[in-house]
Amino acid sequence: MQFSKNIKYTSIPNRIAVKLNAKGEQFVLKGHPWVFSNSITKINTDAKTGDLAIIFSKNKNRVIGLGLYDANSPIRIKMLHSGIEKVEINSEFFQNNIKEAFKKRQTLLKTNTNSYRLIFGENDGFPGLIADVYASVLVVKIYSEIWLPYLEPILESLQHTSNAKTVVIRLSRGLENSKSHQLKNGEVVYGTLENEVVAFVEHGVNFSANVIKGHKTGYFLDHRANRKQVGEWSKGKTVLDVFSYAGGFSVHALANGAKEVTSLDISKQALEIAVQNGRLNSYSGTHKTIAGDAFKELKKLINTKVTFDVVVIDPPSFAKQASEIELAKKKYAQLAKLGEQLTAKNGLLVLASCSSRVVSQTFFDINNEVLSSKNRPYTLKLKTQHDVDHPIGFPEGAYLKSGYYRFLD
């Protein structure tokens, strides 16, 4: 089988010399993967997206890093390598990075799991590129045009390393609208795909992902360990899964013997997928769904005096830009308050955040302040971050945090 001709890129990237201000230079020397446009003081020639940026130190005029130039982003250079040792950016360089990333996933792949994130963007040395594996299907999502000149050898290496039979390309909205390539979002560039919905296994629990039209690459893999944990603590319990999307927490709870599970999401289509994912497994409990705005629906549930043994609240990112941070904090406080009211005596409340701009300490402080204001003793049973296939390589890469709060009444 051959890769699609659409991944070939005829334009040859240039090598450009770059100098930074003192702040930018320090970031590079510390291994940060981003160089912002306001850190650049000099470029020796006209630069275009995909060019290899060779960054020289301000004083000694020695190379301190290599990256890819992105004319379309305020993050003007995405770093590939930091340090003074000599490195060639070529097929072998990318191949070695992919092999190194694959090694980090080995403990996960020894479990009954065949879905994992092979490349986690900057954290694995590939800024703006994600590669997820669902059974025998590799889904590569590209967020920046910087990768277009290098895509063919990278895809070949990803396919070989993962042993995928099919490779699907997903594009960010900006890349979908770009005229710099012939790729289409959801295009199968290697192998064949009989069904756009692909079945996979996560710690012994069956799921499916729409790899062509689903959100991101089709599913959210980062909460895998938390889903497993919630499932193990849900046997014989009633469970509320808020912002359930495709039912990750719900399905694990059902598969582990939960008595009743309620999935709540604003998307009816997502709830249908959650129900279908549940049916991929054998379970004896009841699976209910509620379609609607989470904040409004939680208040309705509170008014009916219903409570649940386990409440999981895993909202989407509330702070995608700095101006949204304060509002995000208020929303997290609201959800903690609503979740507490819906958690039964001696129940478990799981609160999660995927907003990287709301740092972990702030998130846990918000939860502690809200829950401590209630007349209910509780203990923070567990704090978790990313699963093993989402390694953290720099501060902004650490977006996921979850707290398990056990009430002692």
Distance between CA 345 and CA 333 in Å, rounded? 21
Distances (CA, A) of 379 to 336, 372, 409: 14, 10, 11
Q: Which two tokens stand for residue 231?
A: 């499932």
Structural contact between residues 345 and 309, judged by C-beta atoms closer than 8 angstroms = no
Q: Report residues of the chain scoring pLDDT below 70.
A: 1
pLDDT at 211: 97
The reported pLDDT for the residue numbered 9 is 82
What pLDDT is stored for residue 320 in this prediction? 87
What is this structure's pTM?
0.94
- Assigned architecture for domain 15-82: Roll (2.30)
Cα pseudo-dihedral 101, 103, 106, 107, rounded to 10: -90
pLDDT, tens digit (0-9, with 9 covering 90-100), for 4-19: 888 988 778 999 999 9
DSSP notation for 338-385:
HHHHHEEEEEEEEEEE--TTS-HHHHHHHHHHHHHTSS--EEEEEEE-
pLDDT of residue 61: 82
Model confidence pLDDT, tens digit, residues 348-395: 999 999 999 999 999 999 999 999 999 899 999 999 999 999 999 998
Q: How far apart are CA 317 and CA 14, in angstroms?
A: 37
Burial class (CB in 10 A: 0-12, 13-18, 19+), 131: buried
Q: What per-residue confidence (pLDDT) applies to 131?
A: 98
Instruction: Give the pLDDT of residue 369.
Output: 97
**In the chain, where are the structural domains located?**
15-82, 91-199, 222-407
The CATH class for the domain spanning 222-407 reads alpha beta
β partners of residue 201: 206
**Residue 58: predicted pLDDT:** 82
The fourth-level CATH superfamily of domain 91-199 is RNA methyltransferase domain (HRMD) like (3.30.750.80)
Task: Read off the amino acid at residue 300.
Answer: K
Domains 15-82 and 91-199 share a fold: no
The token pair at 383 is 């704090």
